[in-house]
Structure 1
Amino acid sequence: MTAGLMPCRPSMDCSREPSNFGKFTDELSRAFHEYLGTPTIIIAAFVVLGIGMAELEQSGIPAVNALRESLHAMVFGNVEATREILISSAQTLITITSITFTVLLLAVQQAASAMSTQIIDQFLRRPINQVLFGYFVGMSLYTLITLAVIGPEFNPVLSTALGFVFAGIALYFLAALVYITLTQMRSGIVIHAIHDETLNARLRMLPLLARTGRAPRLAGVADLHTVPVRSRGDGYISNIDLDLIERTLPAGADELEIVLKVRIGSYVAHDDLVAEIRSTRTPAAPNLVETVLRALKLSRARDLQLDAGHGVEQIMNIGWTSISSAQHSPAAGAQAIHALRDLLASWSTPEPLAQMPRGVRPLPVVYDDNIVILPLRSLESLAVAAVESRQHQSFGHVVQAIATMYGRLPLELRMMSEAMLLRILRGLEHELLTFELDEALKHAAERLEAAGGARIAECVRKCRMQERAEVARMAR
């Protein structure tokens, strides 16, 4: 893999229908990538430590023997006492850990039902949770290994003493885990964690964007040979292996281009058009078609590691659940709106593309990047939820968010935001014009006019005055 490019984990691709074994390996790879990797390393370290301590105590090293004898004189006086202590310690720790984990998982499930299933994803992805879970399981295995090596002639006093230290740390970690888990269930913490990971996912996408174009070069060329590339599998596009495409490109690739019809995170069904290979000479060779299909990696679920659009949808889903009549939680909805506005602000200005390593060249591959549109569309969806639940606060937040960003958007997105505002403002007839909503509309009109959107600002003012007139008419 070329340095600086997005990593391609082993996965399914568009070239074939995945076998049952392929589906299993994809799920296993995803499990280790999202959660099991860190706990497995920690558990393995504890197992190695347990075996290593047993070997060390029986090595006959004078310094080790002296330390063993000094501990033996103070604690763990005989084999049976050590065995009973280890059995009691292991049983107590496993029982307490099991109860604590059960209660915490119930808390996570309750929070997920209140906001969104994205709570579970974030809980599993957090490194601190992975480290703590790995520590508890690994320490339990360490205690069992120490218990297993006890014999009539061998009393592992050093291993047992170290196990007691680990047990004390574990009990403290249990108390810390309760606080950490409950803190992570707060809507603001979850939304900001997804927000930060979404920005990181976008940064990981920059190498791909640096090596691909945004618009076709050969679109207006006469006598253009076009070969459609259709998927033979189904799933979500999880990655694009540009190195594989580069190795298969023929000489004279300047007269050829590959126009991708999918993006990272797109769902692909059987026989969907995923790309077109265009050439000014002869049609593309079958091996290039096969390479493009193998380069488009598939997964059964979307992955926030590389899919920034998935992060936007997660924030929108939490905001929708919070704002809609399912929960009626304007505070969590406002946090989702603020996070989406920040994503729009971060992506509305041209991004500095990643520097390509020496020897790496741009490829004749067209990737239609639309990430900047997604936060804007999500804000519009949250306005719909606010109208459905009659949450005037959330409705005002959405209007103000779009108005605030209006002057910082490129021309195409300005026109899109104007059309969105016109559609959103139709929902005012279903909202109660509270003082808060009235002020939000007033400030939105001022910001739109200051940014050069006089026409849309006037529309906002008219809608506001119509609602004020309706309130005045009812007061007569």
Structure 2
Amino acid sequence: MKAITSIPVRFVSAIKRSFRQFLSLPLATVIGFAGLSVLVYLADRSWSGGEAPHGFRWLGELMGDRAALGSLLATVASSIVTVTSITFSLLLLAVQQGAAALTAQVTDQFMARKVNQFYFGYFVGLSVFVLMTLVTNTDYHRPVFAAALSLLLTALALCLIIVMIYNTIDQMRPEQIIQFIHGKVLGARDEDLTLLAATRRERRRGWSDVALVRSCESGYVVGLDLARIERAVERHARGDVEIEILITLGTYRAVHDPMFQVRARPGLSLSEEARTGLIDAALAAFTYDDGRDLQNNTAYGLHQLSTIAWTSVSTSKSNPNPGLAVIQALRDIISQWSRGEVEIRDASASCIVYDDAAPVIATDALEAVIVVASESIQSQTLTEAVRTLAILLHHVEAPTAERLADVAHRALSSLGEHVLTRQLDVALRDLTEALRERGFATVADAVGEASADLAASLGKLNSRSTRVPGTTS
């Protein structure tokens, strides 16, 4: 299949993504300052001809003549530009240090915060305002109001520097970063629910696979136009064809990777023209981009949490604190999404089949933390993960409970790397009881047996590789 070149489309997508992630508020703030400059310029026209507006003669005497205003504005303009450049350099250095301590995901959450966007827009907008005021200082225009406003806004900017430095340092704390991503993941779930409500989860039984369609482009699939697919099905095979999407939004696709399956009612024979038209329309419904957006992609947010946990928990950083915070965030996410797995309404008449992968990705992220805890032998991280499994199993819905029980069973393979601390012993007992309570007796027995084997190693001198010796035949 020939790859489709869509450089203009990718360029437009990149611009849209940059505005969604960062540029909208800063540019709006700069435009606001430019508009304010125009309004103040009109107000300053009342000073033309040397006449002071009624009640503001004192302000004109305080600010001085045109030469004094020019000197003042030039000083303010150079100062604000210098302070802005130095401050932003220090802030970016702090962000870089935070990214080095955790992962590059720190940069995404820093740019996504509205308060940071406002800071950047305010300082740049203030620089533009002062420079525009300096330009308007002429023989026939005396910008008294603009100069006074420049001084006030510059004083406010200097005060904001203190707040901005504190906020930046505070935002670099692992707990703040994880909490922010956690909130974005929960917010992005609304996008998933909208898509799920317009599609079906189960494909129709007895229908046959007509064609497996592969990707013509490479990149992240970030959008899906359901209406376009529905119109194509309505036009070419009303009620006789369904499109089964094989990926979820946010998935990376290389050229020729599977995208969707065309399925038809038994006995239906699609003409070559109808088949081609249907496939082309469905392919055109997918939007590709070179990056993902934390604002509307739950999978990307979960990927960031998993990456932060893996990097910090592993011997690469050996820092258990971010890993514990990620486990707590995942516990909340899994708990909130569990009920939705059985309550999400789908469109039974829809011709599009789309799977809900976000809850699965969340439990997989928790499983990844358990795996990496064995590499660094962080007993406190494993204890928190096991405790999380036990807590969730007491109240989550059946689909989530089944996955968690499977995670618990698979996690036993790495248990031998650890020492059975008292906290881990209690967490394993709680997990065994929770599994038995939910009807997973086989897994509960396996956890109990593994815990007993690990307990048998207490008081014995064993290396990491022989802490729980295998049975010999």
TM-score normalised to structure 2 length: 0.90
| SS of corresponding position for 2:340 | coil
Contact 1:68 1:157 in 2 (8 A): no
Contact 2:312 2:318 in 1 (8 A): yes
After TM superposition, give the deviation of residue 304 of structure 1 in Å: 2.0
1:296 aligns with 2:286: yes
Q: Pick from 239, 251, 259 the counterpart of residue 244 of structure 2.
A: 259
| SS of corresponding position for 1:250 | helix
For residue 443 of structure 1, what is the amino acid of its counterpart? D
Q: Pick from 151, 154, 158 the counterpart of residue 145 of structure 2.
A: 158
Q: Which residue of 1 aligns with 2:453?
A: 466
For residue 363 of structure 2, what is the amino acid of its counterpart? L
Cα distance, 1:205–1:389 mapped onto 2, change above 3 Å: same
| SS of corresponding position for 1:274 | strand
Distance 1:462 1:94 in 2: 67
1:248 aligns with 2:232: yes
Q: Which residue of 2 aligns with 1:3?
A: none
Q: Which residue of 1 aligns with 2:383?
A: 396
Gaps of 5+ in 1: 1-13
Contact 1:258 1:278 in 2 (8 A): yes
Distance 2:171 2:242 in 1: 46
Q: Pick from 135, 160, 169 the counterpart of residue 182 of structure 1.
A: 169
Distance 2:420 2:395 in 1: 28
Q: Pick from 53, 71, 75 the counterpart of residue 88 of structure 1.
A: 75
| SS of corresponding position for 1:147 | helix
Q: Which residue of 2 aligns with 1:4?
A: none
Query: Alignment RMSD, CA only?
Result: 2.5
1:192 aligns with 2:179: yes
Contact 1:201 1:306 in 2 (8 A): yes
Q: Which residue of 2 aligns with 1:11?
A: none
1:69 aligns with 2:53: no
| SS of corresponding position for 1:129 | helix
Cα distance, 1:343–1:370 mapped onto 2, change above 3 Å: same
Q: Which residue of 2 aligns with 1:8?
A: none
For residue 411 of structure 2, what is the amino acid of its counterpart? I
| 1:4-55 CA distance string (max 9 Å, x none) | xxxxxxxxxx996344443333322221111011101110111121123113
Q: Pick from 343, 346, 350 the counterpart of residue 340 of structure 2.
A: 350
| 1:243-266 CA distance string (max 9 Å, x none) | 222333325622221111121111
After TM superposition, give the deviation of residue 458 of structure 1 in Å: 2.6
| SS of corresponding position for 2:303 | helix
Q: Which aligned pairs between 1:51-66 and structure 2 lie closer than 5 A? A: 51-58=38-45, 65-66=53-54
Q: Which aligned pairs between 1:70-469 and structure 2 lie closer than 5 A? A: 70-73=58-61, 75-217=62-204, 219-221=205-207, 224=208, 226-250=210-234, 253-280=238-265, 281-283=268-270, 284-350=274-340, 353=344, 363-469=350-456
TM-score normalised to structure 1 length: 0.89
After TM superposition, give the deviation of residue 60 of structure 1 in Å: 7.4
Distance 2:52 2:198 in 1: 58
Distance 2:34 2:52 in 1: 20
Contact 1:403 1:447 in 2 (8 A): yes
1:49 aligns with 2:36: yes
Which stretch shows the higher mean deviation, 423-432 or 465-474? 465-474
After TM superposition, give the deviation of residue 150 of structure 1 in Å: 0.4
Distance 2:390 2:46 in 1: 73
Gaps of 5+ in 2: 463-473
Percent identity, please.
31
Q: Which residue of 2 aligns with 1:10?
A: none
Which stretch shows the higher mean deviation, 319-328 or 228-237? 228-237
After TM superposition, give the deviation of residue 227 of structure 1 in Å: 2.9
Distance 2:442 2:213 in 1: 45
| SS of corresponding position for 2:197 | helix
